[in-house]
Structure formats: C-alpha cells, structure tokens
Structure 1
Amino acid sequence: MRIAMWSGPRNLSTAMMYAFGNRADCEAWDEPFYAAYLAETGLDHPMRREILASQPPQFGAVVERILAKPSRPVQYLKLMTHHMLPGCDLGWAEGFANVHLLRHPARVIASYTAKRAVPEVTLDDIGFAQAQRIYAALPGPVIDSADIRADPEAMLRALCEVIDLPFDPAMLSWPAGSKPFDGVWAQHWYDAVHRSSGFAAAEGPLPTVAPEHRALLDEALPIYEGLFAARLRP
C-alpha cells in the first residue's frame, strides 16, 4: 500500500510521519521532492547545499525511486504541496491513498515565520494554493491537525478505516529523538518533534498574525475553509 500525505509546512506533518513510521510494516519517506524543488526554483532555504546533496535534484528521478518496489508493505510519503510546482505531473500518485493534511493558516504563518526569517512570506511558501490544486487532481480524505491533536487515536482510527489500512496502536507514540528516515534538514526544523514521544495536546487560541502577514492570511483562509469543510471526522 502506498500513502501520499500531502501537507503544507508546519502542519503536524512530521509528527504524522513519525506515527506511520513507527509501524513495523511501514517505510516512511521524508519530503522526497525537496531537493528537486530547490534545484528548480533556486530558492535559498536553510541547509540548501546539504539538501541538494542528499536527494536526486530531478523530479523524474524522484518519481522513479518512489515507484520502485518498496521495502515494506506500507510506503508512507510525507509530501509538501509547495514542492509540486506548476506543470508537475501528478499522475504518478494516482492509485495511491492520497490524504490531505490541513492546519489553520494563522498557526502555519506564525510557526513558519518563527523558523524561516525572510523579508516576505508568500502564499506559495505555505502551500495553500497548491493544496487546493492537488486535492482537485488527487481527491482523498482531508484531515485537520487540530482534530488529530484533540483525539489522536480516534482520528488515526478513522483515517486508517477510510484508506483501508488496519489501525496499529504503535502509531500513537514513538521514541524521542531523530529518526533514520528524517531528511537532512531535520536539524533545522524538527527540534520540537524530536523532543516529543507522541502527539502534543490540543492547541490554545489562534495566534495573532502580525500586521505584515494579514494579507497573506486573507489569501489563505478561504482555501483552508473550503478544504476544512470536507474534513474527515472520527
């Protein structure tokens, strides 16, 4: 079974990868298109040189690796929506269990800007427009990070049921620290999840978005709300 978990950045995506990666039957892949995305765009992300050296920088080569025979019965791909640039062929993921992971854009913007100091953050950076496009091309269950954190077992059971995968209680916790399937960029982005051994408790009130990011929130919010309306419930 192949699972494509589509997400923007700072969406609980690493914790979800750790949940599936803790299953004995699952091989987890961490953002396999990251190097190809950086090579194509020329963007200067943290650890750019190390990322480009760690993965194939060609989209087609990544697809070939993904479609090769997996080492375990379940292949789990943590995929960033913004890595799928306009014109990228998504046909390779047809027939996968495509799952779409959301988080309120106010939380995404607050978390993203805290970890990546750049003069401007755009809608493309946080992946909402791409999430809408990918969902239209590859429909599947939509899950919201707030629902997962509120009741991890209920949501994971519901997700496993809808994608026809037996639930495994091992998904509810994992050993603290780095994982062998982490991308090389983990040392910059994953400090909080490396301290975790399970899903964090429910989040508090929405953060206040800085004035310079309110226009971005206004762009992202209608996309989020449209996808949120289709979300899976336990």
Structure 2
Amino acid sequence: MYSFAQRPDTAVEDEPLYAHYLLRQPTEADHPGREDILQSQNNNGNEVTARMLSHDYQKEVVVFKQMTHHLIDIDTGFLDRMDNVLLIRDPRAILNSFSKVVEKVTARDIGVPQQFALFQRLQKAGKLTAVVDARLLLLNPESVLSQLCDRLGIPFTPQMLSWEPGARPEDGIWAAHWYGNVHKSTGFQPWKEKTYNLSPALASIAEACRPAYEEMLGAALRP
C-alpha cells in the first residue's frame, strides 16, 4: 500500500472491510482496537464494496488493500470488476508477526486457506492479474514492481521504491497496533534469511498452510 501511495496518479484505501469482518469473525482471535475499528468504518460489507465501485477517488488508479479473511458473508462479485493482485508470504513469517499481536491464532485468522480458495477461483475465471510473493519482491523490488505495473497497464515509477518514515493519512485506525515496522521504514528492506521460533501449535499451522502457499508461489512474479 505504501509503495502505490507514492504514485501521483493513485489513491489507496486501507482494509475497508475490517469492521465488516470483525462483526462476523468466526474465530476467537482478539483483535486489538476492535471497538475503535467498528466505530471508524461501515460494517456492512456489501455497502462498502458498492461505495468502492462508485466513489470518485479523483485519481486514475485506486488500490484497495484487502485481507482475504475479511471476505466473509459478502458478495464477492465486486472482484470481477477489479484487477486482483494477491500478495503472498511464507506462512511461518505471517504467523511469526501475527502471533505477536493476536493470541489464539488459527489458519483462518491469517487467511491462507481463504487466499488459496480465492486464488483458485480468480485463476479459473481469468480474473487473477498477478501474484506477488513478499520474499521475491524484496529480492528485487524494481523488477517485480515493474512487472506488476505492466500487468496492471500502468507505467512503473521509481517513486514506488521509497517513502517518508511515519504514518500516512490513509492508515486505518488499527495502524498503532500493526504498522510499527512500516512506520520506521523508508522503502523495501533487503531480504534476509530468517529463523522462526514458532511454538509447536503455530509450526503445525504453518506446515498445514505450506502446500497452498507453495502452489500460489508457483504463479508469482519472478525478479
């Protein structure tokens, strides 16, 4: 989201379906700032997606950062009217960061099963624009972003590679709980191999999610 927000022709919106999800959340994960999020957003997902499609953002390009597990009890037909880019990440990395903020984590809380189902649906319908893997992106941001922009039919600009540190006006109200690292960053950090010290329960979730991740990885843009 921060990368695309640097483009002068682009507007970005941060997780517009978060409140919708929280009212229908099927798991026990305790999301910090829950009540503030519910107060800050419309919690009717179908109304939200209708606004997304009809609102005048006064920009040529609009990027909606979504979480696949937020697409619950909602008509997902709006996706057929958009370019869909799936950002994927090693399940171990997702769990390592997610579990620092939320306890009682399940696979459905991190959205990998839902993302894989969406991947299959979009691919079958010819509506999957691109898959971007976090590790491959960090190995060569300019190459991957250039390919992504080409898929989207927009020109790549080097402005997408860096940003000022700190919060952005588009940040959701939950940023204080989740965006600490990105607020310290000024661009894409070089990829470094990591060791994840997950609990046995989290390691089991990561292992269960790995086949789905690896299949999506096979479709990811390569630097």
Per the normalisation by structure 1, the TM-score is 0.88
Structure-2 residue corresponding to 1:185 = 174
Structure-2 residue corresponding to 1:162 = 151
- Kindly, what percent of the aligned residue pairs are identical? 37
Structure-2 residue corresponding to 1:31 = 15
1:160/1:166 contact within 8 Å kept? yes
Report the CA distance between 1:166 and its aligned residue: 0.7
For residues 134 and 94 of structure 1, the distance between their equivalents in structure 2, rounded to whole angstroms, comes to 12
Match status 1:172 vs 2:165: no
Structure-2 residue corresponding to 1:6 = none
Counterpart code for 2:12: A
Choose from 180, 199, 214 the match for 1:210: 199
Structure 1 runs, 4 residues or longer, greater than 3 Å off = none
For residues 159 and 206 of structure 1, the distance between their equivalents in structure 2, rounded to whole angstroms, comes to 29
Partner SS for 1:32: coil
Q: How does 1:72-87 map to 2 (within 5 A)?
A: 72-85=59-72, 87=73
Counterpart code for 2:107: L
2:46/2:74 contact within 8 Å kept? no
Alignment root-mean-square deviation, CA: 1.4
1:33/1:79 contact within 8 Å kept? yes
For residues 28 and 58 of structure 1, the distance between their equivalents in structure 2, rounded to whole angstroms, comes to 20
Partner SS for 2:13: strand
Match status 1:40 vs 2:27: no
Report the CA distance between 1:121 and its aligned residue: 1.1
Counterpart code for 2:60: P
Structure-1 residue corresponding to 2:44 = 58
Report the CA distance between 1:136 and its aligned residue: 2.0
Report the CA distance between 1:126 and its aligned residue: 0.7
For residues 41 and 126 of structure 1, the distance between their equivalents in structure 2, rounded to whole angstroms, comes to 12
| Cα offsets for 1:104-153 (capped at 9, x unmatched) | 1111111111222x1x2111001101101111222231110001111111
Structure-2 residue corresponding to 1:148 = 137
2:46/2:75 contact within 8 Å kept? no
Match status 1:18 vs 2:2: yes
Structure-1 residue corresponding to 2:125 = none
| Cα offsets for 1:70-103 (capped at 9, x unmatched) | 3211000100011012x53211111311011111
For residues 25 and 98 of structure 2, the distance between their equivalents in structure 1, rounded to whole angstroms, comes to 19
For residues 63 and 107 of structure 1, the distance between their equivalents in structure 2, rounded to whole angstroms, comes to 30
For residues 198 and 57 of structure 2, the distance between their equivalents in structure 1, rounded to whole angstroms, comes to 42
Counterpart code for 1:130: Q
For residues 15 and 195 of structure 2, the distance between their equivalents in structure 1, rounded to whole angstroms, comes to 27
1:144/1:231 contact within 8 Å kept? yes
After alignment, is 204-213 or 43-52 more displaced? 204-213
For residues 105 and 194 of structure 2, the distance between their equivalents in structure 1, rounded to whole angstroms, comes to 22
For residues 95 and 59 of structure 1, the distance between their equivalents in structure 2, rounded to whole angstroms, comes to 16
Partner SS for 1:140: strand
1:102/1:145 contact within 8 Å kept? yes
Structure-1 residue corresponding to 2:220 = 231
For residues 135 and 209 of structure 2, the distance between their equivalents in structure 1, rounded to whole angstroms, comes to 17
Counterpart code for 1:52: L
Structure-1 residue corresponding to 2:90 = 104
| Cα offsets for 1:176-217 (capped at 9, x unmatched) | 100000000001110110011101110223423221212211
